[in-house]
């Protein structure tokens, strides 16, 4: 062996290390707290990879439709939701799935939901991402999104402090399309609404551009499935299937932001604060989560999986290269956006995942109200972006796919 070979340092494989950490973490969590929880960490990792490789986001899709009337991203969301309700509604109607008792995210509809979703929508455009977008871009190495994530957590904590007051405001009882119309009727209503939204985007896009945007050609051969990018529709199908896997393993759909509130509360208590007297943390399930380790919390474990999965995907794609040169106004937008995202999610019983995706997949009318209010917030957020970003950055999302 030559001296050159002896002196050459071994190349560190970031994807292999990250994948090993994910699998070891899942094994450790599964051994300590049950196999289902360990499996959910792997599901989280797969979600992170799908979100990153398919660049499947909500913020950019909504912004592009608002500013350019391009609806390809919104139509992909409708495909995702359609597959989800076809899978979810029969299971929720039966009350069990593969022997596991299951329930959906069905929440009240009131002032807090409308205000919270509206604030969340503004935060999407200023922060540069939604809940899932913040996680997968932060995990993929976007340093600015780490700032958004930090203040997302802070905003979530503040939201729990004010939660009881917001819940005292007028609200209607939760409405489930599955309970109101049955599985078949709920599917007809939901699929009809998805088709109507998709058709509306087609009409608006053709009116503006004369035709529909063609999806970029992607070579799906060789190592493309490993390194990305993936077709957007593949991401839509995969996310629906992985949310269904979450329902089967956890007994409830995919959520993200309750973990941010929990992380914020634990951090606040670590520096001497006390949240135990806040109404949000006096609810039995939240009090139990606060007392336990985060490794027992389903949402926390899945969020960590998403971060690691996105790191794996970014490294495989050769795009993991964090840059800490962030303009001051962009940092200000990340701070404000993160606070609005966190605060809004707590008021609205969830984010674009827990309230919109999983809420609508659960048949909750609250998910549809969230969609309308959050879209209105995005309209405002798009108009505010030029205050914080200039040139191309004012028109495009801060992080691709967010």
* Span 257-308, pLDDT tens digits: 999 999 999 999 999 999 999 999 999 999 999 999 999 999 999 999 999 9
Where are any strands of DSSP class E within 28-81?
none
Distance, CA of 341 to CA of 261 (rounded, Å) = 12
Q: Which helix (H) or strand (E) holds 229?
A: none
Q: What's residue 340's pLDDT? A: 98
Q: Place 396 in a pLDDT band, splitting at 50, 70 and 90.
A: low
- Torsions phi, psi for 97 (to 5 deg): -150, 115
Q: Place 24 in a pLDDT band, splitting at 50, 70 and 90.
A: very high
**Is 194's pLDDT higher than 50?**
yes
Q: Which residue has the higher pLDDT, 392 or 100?
A: 100
Which of 7, 18, 79, 71 is closest to 45 using CA atoms?
18
Over the chain, what is the mean pLDDT? Answer: 92
Using only the alpha carbons of the chain, give its radius of gyration: 21
Q: What's residue 220's pLDDT? A: 59
Mean pLDDT of all residues in 117-131: 95
Q: Place 5 in a pLDDT band, splitting at 50, 70 and 90.
A: very low
The pTM of the whole model exceeds 0.85: yes
Distance, CA of 109 to CA of 43 (rounded, Å) = 30
Q: What's residue 102's pLDDT? A: 97
Q: What's residue 175's pLDDT? A: 97
């Amino acid at each position: 062996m030559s001296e050159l070979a002896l002196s050459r340092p071994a190349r560190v494989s970031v994807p292999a290390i990250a994948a090993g950490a994910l699998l070891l973490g899942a094994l450790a969590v599964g051994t300590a707290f049950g196999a289902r929880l360990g499996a959910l960490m792997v599901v989280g990792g797969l979600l992170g990879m799908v979100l990153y490789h398919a660049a499947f986001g909500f913020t950019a899709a909504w912004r592009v439709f608002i500013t350019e009337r391009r609806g390809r991203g919104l139509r992909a969301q409708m495909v995702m939701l359609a597959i989800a309700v076809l899978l979810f509604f029969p299971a929720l109607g039966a009350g069990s799935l593969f022997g596991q008792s299951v329930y959906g995210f069905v929440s009240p509809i009131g002032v807090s939901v409308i205000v919270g979703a509206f604030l969340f929508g503004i935060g999407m455009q200023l922060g540069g991402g939604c809940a899932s977008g913040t996680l997968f871009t932060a995990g993929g190495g976007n340093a600015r999104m780490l700032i958004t994530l930090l203040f997302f957590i802070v905003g979530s904590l503040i939201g729990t402090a004010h939660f009881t007051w917001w819940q005292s405001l007028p609200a209607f009882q939760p409405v489930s399309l599955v309970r109101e119309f049955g599985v078949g009727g709920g599917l007809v209503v939901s699929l009809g609404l998805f088709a109507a939204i998709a058709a509306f985007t087609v009409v608006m896009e053709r009116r503006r551009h004369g035709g529909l945007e063609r999806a970029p050609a992607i070579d799906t051969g060789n190592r493309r499935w490993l390194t990305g990018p993936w077709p957007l529709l593949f991401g839509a199908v995969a996310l629906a299937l992985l949310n269904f896997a979450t329902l089967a393993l956890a007994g409830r759909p995919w959520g993200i932001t309750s973990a941010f509130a929990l992380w914020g509360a634990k951090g606040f208590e670590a520096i001497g604060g006390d949240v135990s007297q806040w109404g949000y943390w006096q609810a039995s399930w939240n009090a139990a989560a606060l007392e336990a380790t985060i490794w027992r919390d389903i949402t926390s474990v899945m969020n960590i999986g998403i971060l690691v999965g996105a790191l794996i995907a970014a490294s495989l794609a050769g795009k993991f290269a964090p840059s800490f040169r962030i303009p001051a106004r962009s940092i200000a937008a990340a701070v404000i956006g993160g606070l609005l995202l966190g605060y809004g999610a707590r008021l609205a019983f969830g984010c674009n995942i827990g309230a919109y995706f999983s809420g609508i997949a659960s048949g909750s009318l609250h998910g549809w109200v969230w969609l309308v209010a959050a879209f209105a917030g995005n309209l405002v957020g798009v108009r505010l972006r030029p205050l914080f970003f200039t040139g191309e950055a004012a028109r495009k999302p801060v992080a691709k796919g967010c």
